[in-house]
Each structure stands twice: as structure tokens, then as C-alpha cells.
Amino acid sequence: MLAVAVVGGTGYTGVELLRLLVAHPQVDLKYITSRSESGKQVADMFPNLRGFTDICFSEPALETLAECDIVFFATPNGTAMKMVPELVARGARVIDLAADFRLKDAEVWKHWYGMEHACADVLAEAVYGLPEMNRASIKSARVVANPGCYPTAVTLGFLPLVENALIDDQHLIADAKSGVSGAGRGASVATLQAESAENFKPYAVNGHRHLPEIRQTLASVASHEVGLTFVPHLVPMIRGIEASLYATLKSDVTAEDLHKLYVDRYADEPFVDVLPEGTMPETRTVKGANNCRISVFIPQQGDTVVVSSVIDNLVKGAAGQAIQNMNIMFGFDESTGLNQVALLP
């Protein structure tokens, strides 16, 4: 059994991580930390966990966290990087669900997140935790940077096309939509029901923090910088991301060719489902599950390829992917604890 700690267990990502961890057969959940809620039973804050854990929130202390085999950080950006070097030095392994270790360039990180990076040496060794790309490196990693939700949906959608140099990768477009849980649990006028219900809007069009992460990941595949326009939108639902991806084809291929390319690329991936030709992905088909569902189209037999990619932003976009990474790191079957069927309706 793995001794596991979760630092920052009071947000939506944190409670989703706890929901999955308490049902994982190889996990012994030792600590769930929160400075503001220390001493309070976790199930009192999250009644869905009643009967599954009687653990209380505690203060985050290096001495106790270092006793664990793995520590998950479900904390705001800039928190994990202050504790991870010492935890790693003491033998713990870490999965950070925030952005502290996603960008390899500390100056780029500073530009997008507005603070100096606290441990550039650990940043250099951290592995980007997208299993469909980096499974071998994840297995031996001490620090895994869990990908962002938008980057997961966008990267998995574009990946086969970029890997095979089939598209003009200087003019990629990602038109993505997310439910309000992606904004976090903190109080915000923009996510009040009266503001977000019956409404649909773009945001951060001039630059979203996930933009450099997506560019960095796709550039590592293409072996050169890529051009990407990324426009996120807020839609009036709680969970889910749909990413509509557009690119210009460089070669004469058919929709059937591309469908086969995607089927072959993801044939051995337990959590990527390439849908039958002509099938439209729906966010409700992945709600609560660690799946990414993808369809690929060539509208009007032209030179534009359209890919639709859907995930649950809290599962494959966060907590589920983190557990998938843990399973890889410790040699468990990758699907352990992650075989939930999506919720319908």
C-alpha cells in the first residue's frame, strides 16, 4: 500500500482527487492538509466522502508529508515549488496538479505567473505528466507536472497530426470551452449562477496561462516552435471541456485516412477513445470519468482538418490524470482506481 498525502484538499480538484483516492485499492490516505480547515473532518466539508474516510484536515508539515511515498499538491500556483525540493530530498515523490513545474523555462514561467520560480533545478528534472506522450519518463520521475485541463484536451487532439507532420503547425487554432468548475472553488462574481447561467463568453483571448504550456508540448513533438491561437470560453455547465481544433492539411489525405491514423495512434491508450467516423463527441459522455474522446473531420473534403476533443476537466484534466500518473510511477496497472463509467444523464 502506498502512503499518500494531499496538500490542499479543499478545492474542486482536491475533492475530486480524494474521491478517487479513497476508492483506490493500493492507497493508504495518510494526510490531507489545509491551513484554514485544520482539525476539521474532511467529510464535514465534503459530505460525499462520508463513510469513505474519517480523516481530518491537518497543517502541511514537511516532517509528516515526507513520511509518505507520494505527495499530491492540489494547491494554488506557486505553493508546491516552495516545498517540493525538501520533500524530494527526503525521498518522497511528488505530483503537482498546479502549474509550478509545467513550463521548462523559469523566465517564461515568471512572465505568465508573475513570480520568480523557487526551484529552477527541480523544474529542470520534472516530467510533464501526459502519459500518452511521456509514459517511460513518468515511470522513473521524482516530480511529475500534471498537465492543465485545456492542454490535455488540445494536445491529445492535435498530437497525431503534429507527430506525422500532416498540418501547417504555424497556424493552429484551438477553440475551447470549459465548465465553471475550471475556475476553482473560490468565490468569484464571474462564476455566480446569475452571471454564468444562460451565458457563453470567451475570456483571456489576448493570452491564457495554458497557451505557453500547449505550445511547449507541441513544440517538443514537432522539434520546432509552433504557432497557436488559443481562445478559451466559459459555458454554463459545471464540468467538462470541449476543444474544437483547426489546422490546414499539408498533404492529400482523406477523412478515412485520418480516422485510421488516430485509431492506430491511440489503440493502446486506455483513456483515449477515438469515436467512429462521423460521431460527435459530447462532454456528458466523459463526466466523472478519466477519458478523452476524440473525433476527426475534413469538412466538405477541403484542406482543413477539424478535431473535436472532450474531457472532464476535473478528471482527465486534473485528478484522474494525476492518479493515472501515480499508477505508472509505482508500477500498478494504469487503470487501477480509474474505471468509473461516466455519469448519464
Active site residues: 149
Can you tell me which residue has the cell 507527430?
Answer: 163
Query: Which string of DSSP letters, residue by residue, matches 98-138?
Result: SSTTT-S-HHHHHHHHSS--S-HHHHHHPEE--HHHHHHHH
Cα–Cα separations (whole angstroms), residue 268 to 212, 257, 272, 273, 313: 28, 19, 9, 10, 22
CA dihedral 11, 135, 128, 65 (to 10 degrees): 50
Cα–Cα separations (whole angstroms), residue 280 to 162, 170, 314: 22, 27, 21
In a 3-state reduction of DSSP, which class is residue 32?
A: strand
Backbone angles phi, psi at 170, to 5 degrees: -95, -5
Can you tell me which residue has the cell 512572465?
Answer: 111
Amino acid at 303: D
CA dist 62 and 40 (Å) reads: 20
CA dist 106 and 268 (Å) reads: 34
- β-bridge pairing 272-274 and 93-96: unpaired
